[in-house]
Amino acid sequence: MNIFVLVKRIPDTESKIRINHETGTIVEEGLTFVLNPYDEYAVEEALRLREAGGGKVTVLSVGTEESRIILKKCLAMGADEAFLLKDNAPETYDGLRLAKIIARALEKKFSDYGLLLFGKQSMGTDNAQVPSMVAELLGLPQVNVVTKLEIEGTKGTAHREIEGALEKVSFSLPAVISAQKGLNEPRYETLKGIMTAKKKEIPILSFEDLDLKEEDIAPLLEVAKIESPPPRQAGKIIEEEPEKAARKMVEFLHNEAKVI
């Protein structure tokens, strides 16, 4: 089976986010970028499926040249091939634009896909849009926020996390699956993997290669502004006997904050 994993480069979760108020963008300078953690689960799952049932694992990322670093990481983890779908446009938080690019690439260049694996959300946009949108554009079944995946031949079942429970879903391939934490434990790259990855080319596919015109993928959302969250007022911190502290806390919550 041909498994495709869609991966995105995001700022490390430790990052302090700085805003350029003039351009309404996030300042990239000084940020460390990593593979989106949810995409890492997706890559791991792809590798396990290949190990169990054979096939090929291809990773794709839409982004700038800088995204090569995360594609290299995926290759080092064990992916067979990686492609960069080159896009230099600023972020507009419009998932459909990305989904259109990804769907077009799959149709035009990789139409032999059997399974499409995504992360459940890219940290940063926090959109959780792209997987469902790609599924719709390609007319495929979707199962999002998956913590357990089983594939047998052309059929699959998955557990998807919902509020306080899991939903068991059945589907047939090809399908879109998005990974949630808990699906697996991603492996570390081995030295051998890193050496092999070094030798692999990462071909670029341009919008021209995909027959995509700018107007086909014009953003449908517009950033009016980006702001820092309002700072929280410093609160009341007490250091007293446990009994007294507990009483003060409950009094405070009951009488002043009125939340209990």
Partner 1 sequence: MILIFIEVREGKVKKSSLEALSEGKRRAADLNTEVNAVLVGHNLESLASEVLPYGGSKVYVVENSLLSHYSAAGFSQALFSLVEDIKPEIILFSASSMGKDLAPRLAAKLGVGLASDCTRTIAKDGKLEVVRPIFAGKAFVTLSFKSSPIMATLRPNVFPLGEPGEKKGEVIRKEVVIPEDQIKAPALEILREKGAELDVTEAEIVVSGGRGMKGSDNFDLLRDLVSLLPHSAVGASRSAVDAGWIDHQHQVGQTGKTVSPDLYIAFGISGAIQHLAGMSSSKFIVAVNKDSEASIFKVADFGIVGDLFQVIPYLKEELKKITS
Ligand X SMILES: Cc1cc2nc3c(=O)[nH]c(=O)nc-3n(C[C@H](O)[C@H](O)[C@H](O)COP(=O)(O)OP(=O)(O)OC[C@H]3O[C@@H](n4cnc5c(N)ncnc54)[C@H](O)[C@@H]3O)c2cc1C
Please give the residues from 9 up to 68 whose contact with ligand AMP meets the rule CB under 6 A. Answer: 36, 38-39, 61-63
- Report if residue 27 touches partner 1, rule: CB under 8 A: no
| Among 42, 158, 56, 40, CA closest to 113 | 56
Of residues 13, 32, 88, 228, which one binds ligand X by CB under 6 A? 13
Report phi then psi at 189, rounded to 5. -70, 140
Neighbours of 156 (CB within 10 A): 20
- Cα 129 → chain centroid: 10
- Report if residue 48 touches partner 1, rule: CB under 8 A: no
User: Which residue, 24 or 37, has its beta carbon nearer to ligand X?
Assistant: 37
Neighbours of 193 (CB within 10 A): 17
- Report if residue 159 touches partner 1, rule: CB under 8 A: yes
User: Which residue, 76 or 145, has its beta carbon nearer to ligand AMP?
Assistant: 145
- Report if residue 94 touches partner 1, rule: CB under 8 A: yes
To 5 degrees, how large is the angle CA 82–CA 29–CA 83? 10
| Among 35, 178, 48, 186, CA closest to 117 | 178
- Report if residue 255 touches ligand X, rule: CB under 6 A: no
User: Which residue, 38 or 113, has its beta carbon nearer to ligand AMP?
Assistant: 38
- Report if residue 164 touches partner 1, rule: CB under 8 A: yes
Binding site for ligand AMP (CB under 6 A): 6-8, 36, 38-39, 61-63, 95, 98, 118-119, 121-122, 125, 127-131
